[in-house]
């Protein structure tokens, strides 16, 4: 059944434009409360990132949940993975995150977590959608939900993050620059790394409601690169606005992406016999990651793009580690969802175990040249399904003989076909990409 409101990662859009409006959030809170309450007594945790519209939507959700008879526990600004963790530890029926992740302040959205700290099952999302189209009612006054605030939420999450590494761990002598994106990690991340002994310089930790992700964080790395060099730091760590993505910068100022961080974590677990199975990447994971893991004898599979699909594949295979090159990294040994702080700590532990710098440790993965060409088409049948295009893709894939790959994807938002080719030889990769892009354009004409 097609969902009307929920996308792959909740509900998201521009503030003030349907459905990211106060009246819709009121109804959403009520619908969610009714759905959760149908399963028994109901407590719902609500947290948010630092964008200004979070105040408005927090109040609207609170009113709707209360009207449905659900008790509400407010967390204030907290990273998305912290809300997943606290939903579990408070034995709540659900958690709600008000955030648009790495988007600018004029976007916002809603994500839900189940009582286990995982994405909501499809059947629950569909139940909420059905209720959104029903008339809103209010429970009898004595059954209205109560609202309270969890004042020690930050402290609980800081201790949880620290518990993901051995209690004897000390990062004394390590000089780190953190970029908190003026987002949800601005309080907790500096505390975690300082309490573990690192010398920490903090960037972009003065949120004003409007500056979240603005020329900072994991989507704008130049500020962090400059600071790592200026401070002569060992490395830099960049989070996104809601704290579920992490990228790094080594001491030379070079960006270390999610594929490289995932490799460093997986190799360390493999060397300590704690990997349990293999690694899940996505269709966009660099071929170099797959080849580097294969050299270590580590299985690798690709899921569709999106942490929801990575997590589903991990659960299906009972594996522990997966992620995206954008920096969503899932470490199931410690968390139920992508957690930027937890992932960063696992990288630091891997560096410590090998006695290597980040620049040295990333050398184990040689990223393959990747060429992406966008081809516009006029709508209608996708050129990706054209027999001539399929035949050409098969021919190019065979020619690269396991040392390269082809991916053609129709954009979900624009009339574009994305032609991606990667392999060992950059000149050859570019030639193949141009050849396939030209063919796609011809069959689209």
Angle at 440 between CA 439 and CA 445, to 5 degrees: 100
pLDDT at 413: 64
Q: Which of 317, 334, 367 is the last residue of a domain?
A: 367
Q: Which of 367, 392, 427 is the last residue of a domain?
A: 367
Asked whether residue 223 is domain-assigned, the answer is: yes
Asked whether residue 23 is domain-assigned, the answer is: yes
CATH number at residue 24: 3.40.120.10
Q: What's the CA gap between 107 and 132, in Å, rounded?
A: 21
> What's the mean pLDDT in 182-187?
98
Asked whether residue 98 is domain-assigned, the answer is: yes
pLDDT at 377: 84
Per the structure, the count of domains in the chain is 4
Share of the chain above pLDDT 70, in %: 99
pLDDT tens profile 252-298 = 999 999 999 999 999 999 999 999 999 999 998 999 999 999 999 99
Which among 53, 101, 154, 361 is annotated as catalytic? 101
pLDDT tens profile 385-429 = 899 999 999 999 999 988 899 999 887 667 889 999 999 899 999
Q: What's the CA gap between 144 and 141, in Å, rounded?
A: 5
346 and 381 share one domain: no
263 and 245 share one domain: no
421 and 389 share one domain: yes
The 3-class SS string of 264-313 reads HHHHHHHHCCCCCCCEEEECCCCHHHHHHHHHCCCCEEEECCCHHHHHHH
280 and 389 share one domain: no
Q: 346 lies in which domain range?
A: 257-367
Asked whether residue 164 is domain-assigned, the answer is: no
CATH number at residue 414: 3.30.310.50
Burial, 409: exposed, middle or buried (Cβ in 10 Å; 0-12, 13-18, 19+)?
middle
Q: Which of 367, 391, 417 is the last residue of a domain?
A: 367
21 and 142 share one domain: yes
Dihedral sign (CA 195, 198, 201, 204): negative
Asked whether residue 157 is domain-assigned, the answer is: no
107 and 227 share one domain: no
Residue 201 CA to chain centroid, in angstroms? 24
24 and 117 share one domain: yes
pLDDT tens profile 301-330 = 999 988 889 999 999 999 999 999 999 999
pLDDT band at 7 (very low <50, low <70, confident <90, very high): confident
Asked whether residue 293 is domain-assigned, the answer is: yes
pLDDT tens profile 51-75 = 999 999 999 999 999 999 999 999 9
Residue 326 CA to chain centroid, in angstroms? 8
Q: What ranges in 332-411 are assigned the alpha helix state H?
A: 340-354, 358-361, 387-400
> What's the mean pLDDT in 347-368?
97
pLDDT at 334: 96
307 and 251 share one domain: no
Asked whether residue 165 is domain-assigned, the answer is: no
pLDDT at 402: 82
pLDDT at 421: 96
22 and 148 share one domain: yes
pLDDT at 1 over 80: no
The more confidently predicted of residues 380 and 135 is: 135
* pLDDT, averaged across the chain: 95
Q: What's the CA gap between 298 and 317, in Å, rounded?
A: 14
Residue 290 CA to chain centroid, in angstroms? 20
Radius of gyration of the chain measured on its C-alpha atoms: 23
55 and 138 share one domain: yes
Secondary structure tally for the chain: helices H, strands E = 14, 18
pLDDT band at 173 (very low <50, low <70, confident <90, very high): very high
Beta strands 235-239 and 175-179 are: parallel
CA end-to-end span of the chain, whole Å? 34
Angle at 139 between CA 135 and CA 143, to 5 degrees: 160
pLDDT at 211 over 90: yes
pLDDT at 410: 83
Question: Which residue, among 394, 404, 406, has the nearest Cα to 424 in the 3D structure?
Answer: 404
pLDDT band at 373 (very low <50, low <70, confident <90, very high): very high
> What's the mean pLDDT in 87-116?
96
385 and 361 share one domain: no
Share of the chain above pLDDT 90, in %: 89
Q: How many CB atoms lie within 10 A of CB 116?
A: 10
User: Does residue 218 have an active-site annotation?
Assistant: no
pLDDT at 41: 73
303 and 345 share one domain: yes
Report the predicted TM-score, pTM, of the whole model to 2 decimal places. Answer: 0.93
The more confidently predicted of residues 38 and 225 is: 225
Asked whether residue 1 is domain-assigned, the answer is: no
């Amino acid at each position: 059944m097609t969902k009307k409101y929920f996308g792959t990662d909740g509900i998201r859009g521009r503030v003030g434009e349907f459905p990211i409006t106060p009246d819709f959030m009121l109804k959403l809170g009520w619908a969610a409360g009714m759905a959760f309450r149908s399963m028994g007594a109901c407590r719902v945790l609500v947290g948010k990132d630092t964008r200004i519209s979070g105040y408005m939507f927090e109040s609207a959700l609170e009113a709707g949940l209360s009207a449905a008879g659900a008790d509400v526990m407010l967390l204030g600004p907290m990273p998305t993975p912290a809300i997943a963790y606290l939903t579990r530890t408070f034995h709540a029926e659900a958690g709600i995150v008000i955030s648009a992740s790495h988007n600018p302040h004029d976007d916002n959205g809603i994500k839900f977590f189940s009582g286990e700290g995982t994405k909501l099952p499809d059947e629950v999302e569909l139940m909420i959608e059905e209720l959104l189209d029903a008339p809103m009612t209010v429970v009898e006054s004595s059954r209205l939900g109560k609202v309270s605030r969890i004042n020690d939420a930050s402290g609980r999450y800081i201790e949880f993050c620290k518990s993901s590494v051995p209690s004897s761990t000390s990062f004394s002598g390590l000089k780190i620059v953190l970029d908190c994106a003026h987002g949800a990690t601005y309080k907790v991340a500096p505390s975690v790394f300082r309490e573990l002994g690192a010398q920490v310089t903090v960037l972009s930790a003065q949120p004003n409601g409007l500056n979240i992700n603005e020329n900072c964080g994991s989507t704008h790395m130049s500020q962090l690169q400059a600071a790592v060099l200026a401070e002569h730091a060992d490395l830099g760590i960049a989070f996104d606005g809601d704290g579920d993505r992490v990228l790094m910068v080594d001491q030379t100022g070079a960006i270390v992406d999610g594929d490289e961080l995932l490799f460093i974590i997986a190799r360390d677990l493999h060397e300590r016999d704690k990997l349990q199975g293999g690694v899940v990447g996505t269709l966009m994971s660099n071929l170099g990651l797959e080849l580097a893991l294969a050299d270590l004898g580590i299985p690798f599979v690709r899921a569709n793009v999106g942490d929801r699909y990575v997590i589903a594949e991990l659960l299906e295979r009972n594996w522990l580690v997966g992620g995206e090159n954008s920096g969503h990294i899932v470490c199931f040994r410690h968390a139920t969802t992508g957690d930027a702080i937890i992932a960063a700590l696992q990288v630091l532990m891997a560096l410590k175990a090998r006695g290597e710098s980040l620049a040295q440790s990333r050398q184990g993965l040689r990223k393959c040249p990747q060429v992406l060409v966008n081809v516009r088409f006029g709508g209608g049948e996708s050129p990706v399904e054209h027999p001539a295009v399929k035949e050409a893709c098969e021919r190019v894939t065979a020619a690269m003989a396991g040392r390269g790959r082809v991916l053609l994807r129709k954009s979900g938002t624009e009339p574009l076909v994305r032609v991606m080719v990667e392999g060992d030889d950059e000149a050859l990769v570019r030639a193949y990409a141009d050849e396939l892009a030209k063919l796609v354009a011809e069959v689209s004409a």
